[in-house]
């Protein structure tokens, strides 16, 4: 079982931790009902570091994304996200995912935690055009912050105007002083044994 960079904080805050998709993940802190109401009325933070992240880069990046996903990624401008799936040769679905147009010739695919290995094998198999691909899943941490008071809770931590980010859009920027601190914490976390 793996730990996320936030596992130590979950334990310190008294989370109930159980195995999920190959990781020790927090299931609850004070109880499902109370936490559900908090997210619906205020704000909640979810550790989703167990999700898979694949980078596709280079001149052939769009060609590969177009080949392996069901939607037209050529319509994505930088900063836009698209819900899609990996269709297989039989008309079925390998998995669903999000496609982020991160930069010029640069895409980030976020896949489901329990399917990382299967999805990565599929991407590698389909990469007949030799696009630059990287499975960065073990090197990326993610927090999902949800609820009606999310912008109010986060706005003081960044100079990005969060009100300007519309649905299925993203911006890259500085978030509090966490970037520097998380990078050093992340490196020490990778060396820890739990």
| pLDDT tens digit sequence for 46-93 | 999 999 999 999 999 999 999 999 999 999 999 999 999 999 989 899
Highest mean pLDDT among 13-22, 119-128, 179-188: 119-128
pLDDT value of residue 177: 67
The reported pLDDT for the residue numbered 14 is 93
CB 141 within 8 A of CB 49: yes
What percent of the chain clears pLDDT 70, i.e. is strictly above it? 91
If you average pLDDT over residues 6-15, what whole number do you get? 92
Structural domain of 147 = 7-49+141-163+174-191
Mean pLDDT of the chain: 90
Going from the C-alpha of 92 to that of each of 10, 87, 95, 124, the distances in angstroms are 38, 6, 9, 18
Is 168 a member of any domain?
A: no
What is the mean predicted confidence (pLDDT) over 80-109?
95
CATH number, domain with residue 12: 3.30.1360.120
Domain count for the chain: 2
Rounded-to-integer distance, Cα 57 and Cα 104, Å: 9
**How much is the pLDDT for 91?**
87
Mean pLDDT of 135-139: 95
- The pTM for the full model equals 0.86
Top-confidence residue, 92 or 181: 92
2 part of a folded domain: no
Q: Does position 180 have pLDDT exceeding 70, yes or no?
A: no
What single DSSP character describes residue 76? P
**43 assigned to some structural domain:** yes
Does 194 have pLDDT greater than 70? no
């Amino acid at each position: 079982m793996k730990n996320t960079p936030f596992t130590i904080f979950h334990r310190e805050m008294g989370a109930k931790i159980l195995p999920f998709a190959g990781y020790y993940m927090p299931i609850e802190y004070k109880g499902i009902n109370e936490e559900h109401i908090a997210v619906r009325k205020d704000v909640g933070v979810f550790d989703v570091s167990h999700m898979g992240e694949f980078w596709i880069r280079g001149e052939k990046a769009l060609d590969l994304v177009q080949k392996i996903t069901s939607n037209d990624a050529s319509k994505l401008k930088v900063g836009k996200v698209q819900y899609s799936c990996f269709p297989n040769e039989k008309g079925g679905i390998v998995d669903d995912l999000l496609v982020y147009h991160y930069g010029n010739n640069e895409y980030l695919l976020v896949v489901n935690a329990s399917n990382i290995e299967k999805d990565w094998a599929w991407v590698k198999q389909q990469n007949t055009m030799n696009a630059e691909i990287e499975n960065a899943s073990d090197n990326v941490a993610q927090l999902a912050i949800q609820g009606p008071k999310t912008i109010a809770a986060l706005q003081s931590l960044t100079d990005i105007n969060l009100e300007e980010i519309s649905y299925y859009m993203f911006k890259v920027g500085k978030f509090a002083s966490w970037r520097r601190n998380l990078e050093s914490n992340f490196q020490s976390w990778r060396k820890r044994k739990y």
